[in-house]
Amino acid sequence: MNKVLLIIQREYLSRVKKKSFIIMTFLTPLLIAGIYGLIGYFTYKGIKDTHDKVAVVSINKTLTDRLKSDDNIDYLYVDQPLNDIKKSLKKTDFDYVLYLPEFSLKDPKGIELFGEKQAGLSLNSKISRDIEELIRNQKLKESGIAQSDLDQLKTSVNIDTKKITSETGKEETSSAGASTIIAFVAGILMFMFIMLYGVQVMRGVIEEKTSRIIEVIISSVKPFQLMMGKIIGIALVGLTQFILWIVLTFTITTIATTVLMDKTDIKKITTSAQANQIKAGADIATQAQGPMVDIQKSLAGLDISKIVFVFIFFFLGGYLFYSALYAAIGSAVDSETETQQFMMPVMMPLLLGYALSLSVVTNDPYGNVAFWLSMIPFTSPIAMVVRMPYGVPNWELALSMGILIVGFIGTVWIASRIYRVGILMYGKKTTFKEMFKWFTYKA
C-alpha cells in the first residue's frame, strides 16, 4: 500500500511540476474568460443592433389596430407623406420606413419597406408576421369575436410531474427537464475528463515502456500497484487542474467584468435580459423561467446531498473505470501510433451510453433498458446520474456502485496482466488476437 502511495506521489508531482501543466492551468481560464467576454460583448452588441426603429407610414383605413412595438422592433406611426420621410431618412434616427397602403384583407398588396440598408431576412419575416397577426385579428373581429375574447385565446399548459412513493404515499416532485440537463452536463464533463486525463494514463504507461524503465520498476512493485498508483495519481492531477480552472475562471471573469465594463453597460445587459424574461413570462408562464426553476423544484423533492454524492461517485468511478481501460491499451502497445485501433472500441460504449441515456432512459426511467444501462459499468456512470432525479431504489444504487468498483479493480487487474506479458514482447505488434492469447497463458 505504501508503494502505491509512492507511485501516486510521483505521478502527481512529476505532472504538476511540468511547465506545460502550469501554462495550461493558467492559460485555459484566460481563454475561457476571453470567450465568455466575447460572447457577452456580442450579446450586448446584438441587443443594440437588432433593435430596429421603423417609421410606419399608413394610409390604410381597414386596419383598426396598430403594429405593436417589442424588444426587436420599435414601430412609430408618422404622419408625414412617404416621399418626405424617404428623403429625410438619413437625418432621422429611423432605420427603416414601412409603407402600408390601402388594401383588402383578402389580398394585402403593395406593402413596402425602405431603408438605408437592405433589410435582413429575419427582420423581413418578423414584420410580415406582425402584419399577418394584425390582419388575422382584424378578420376575427369582423366575424364578431370580441377583443376581450381574443385576449384570452392563448393558454399555456404546464404539467407538474409528481411521483408517489408507495410506502408513505408522499408526493415527490420530479422533472424530466432537470435530469436531462444534469445528464447532459455530466456527460460532457466525463467526456472531457476521460479524453484529457484517460489518455494521459495511457501515455504514462507507454512512456515507461519506451524509456525502458519498467523492468526496474516492476522488479520493485507489482504491475497492479503500478497501474493503480498511476491511475489515481493522474486522476488527482485532473481534479487539481479542473478545480483550478473553475476557481481561476470565476476569479478572472469577476475581475474582468468589474474592471473592463462600466456599470451602465452591465445594467443595460441585465435589464434587457430581465425584460426578455418578463416578456416571455407573460406568454408562457413557468416553462420559460428557465430550467433552473425545474431543477430547483425537483431537487427540493429529493435529498440534495444524496444526489451530489451519487454524482461525484459516478463521475469519479466512471473516470477511473475508463482510465483503467486506457491503461490496458497502453499496456498492450509499444508506441502511441499503435493506439488508434484500440481507442474507438473504448469510446464506443461511452458514446452509446450517453446517447441512450438522453433518449431511452429519460423516456422510460424505470424500464429494462434503463436498469441495465445503469448496472453495466461502461454506461452506468451516465445512466445512473440521469435516473437519479426520478428516484432510484437504494438497492439498485448500491448494486450499481458495487459493480462499478469491482469493474474498476477488475479492469486494473486485467491491465496489469496485459502489462506483465506485454513487457516480455518488446517491439512486437499487438493485435486483438495476440491480446486474447495473453490472457490464456500464465505470466
Partner 1 sequence: MLSVKNIVKQYASHRALDDVSLEVEKGTIFGLLGPNGAGKTSLIRIITQITAPDSGEVLINGQRLNSDHISQIGYLPEERGLYKKMEIGEQVLYLSKLKGLSTAEATKRIKFWFEKLEMKDWWSKKVEDLSKGMQQKVQFVATVLHQPELIILDEPFSGFDPVNADIIKNEILELNKQGATFIFSTHRMESVEELCDQIALINRSKKILDGSVDEIKATYRNNTYWIEYEGDYNVKSVNDLFDVLQTENVKGKKLIKIQLHANKTVNEVLSNLLPLISISKLDEVIPTMNEIFIDKVKRQDYE
Contacts of 162 (CB under 8 A, 6+ apart): 171, 172, 173, 174
Strand order in the sheet with 112-115: 73-78, 52-58, 96-100, 112-115
Applying CB under 8 A, among 298, 423, 430, 435 the residue interacting with partner 1 is 423
Applying CB under 8 A, among 216, 259, 304, 344 the residue interacting with partner 1 is 216
Identify whether the C-beta of residue 66 lies closer than 8 Å to the C-beta of residue 109: no
Identify whether the C-beta of residue 439 lies closer than 8 Å to the C-beta of residue 417: yes
The amino acid occupying position 139 is K
Q: Which three cell numbers stand for residue 273?
A: 435580459
> Considering beta carbons, is residue 217 or 285 the nearer one to partner 1?
217
State the minimum distance, in angstroms, from the CB of residue 204 to partner 1.
Answer: 10
Burial class of residue 1, CB neighbours in 10 A (0-12, 13-18, 19+): exposed
Determine the size of the site formed for partner 1 (CB under 8 A).
Answer: 27
Applying CB under 8 A, among 104, 118, 143, 211 the residue interacting with partner 1 is 211
- If one asks whether residue 1 binds partner 1 (CB under 8 A), the answer comes out as no
Strands 52-58 and 96-100, by their bridges, are parallel
> Considering beta carbons, is residue 11 or 294 the nearer one to partner 1?
11
- If one asks whether residue 443 binds partner 1 (CB under 8 A), the answer comes out as yes
- If one asks whether residue 366 binds partner 1 (CB under 8 A), the answer comes out as no
Applying CB under 8 A, among 83, 219, 305, 337 the residue interacting with partner 1 is 219
Q: Which of 401, 19, 6, 23 is nearest to 233 (CA)?
A: 6
Secondary structure (DSSP) of 40-73: HHHHHHHHHHT-EEEEEEE--SS--S-PPP-SSE
What residues between 127 and 186 interact with partner 1 by CB under 8 A?
none
Binding segment (CB under 8 A) for partner 1, from list 71-79, 82-90, 210-218, 253-261: 210-218
Residues 9-28: x where in contact with partner 1 by CB under 8 A, - otherwise, as a string? -x---x---x----------
Binding segment (CB under 8 A) for partner 1, from list 105-113, 121-129, 135-143, 214-222: 214-222
State the minimum distance, in angstroms, from the CB of residue 120 to partner 1.
Answer: 55
Distance CA 241, CA 235 (A): 10
- If one asks whether residue 439 binds partner 1 (CB under 8 A), the answer comes out as no
Q: How large is the greatest C-alpha to C-alpha distance in the chain, in angstroms?
A: 97
> Considering beta carbons, is residue 16 or 176 the nearer one to partner 1?
16
State the minimum distance, in angstroms, from the CB of residue 242 to partner 1.
Answer: 22
- If one asks whether residue 3 binds partner 1 (CB under 8 A), the answer comes out as yes
> Considering beta carbons, is residue 408 or 419 the nearer one to partner 1?
419
Q: Which of 262, 217, 268 is nearest to 419 (CA)?
A: 217
State the SS3 of 163-191: EECCCCCCEEECCHHHHHHHHHHHHHHHH
> Considering beta carbons, is residue 139 or 428 the nearer one to partner 1?
428
State the minimum distance, in angstroms, from the CB of residue 20 to partner 1.
Answer: 10
Q: Which residues bind partner 1 (CB under 8 A)?
A: 3, 6-7, 10, 14, 18, 207-208, 211-213, 215-222, 420, 423-424, 426, 437, 441-443
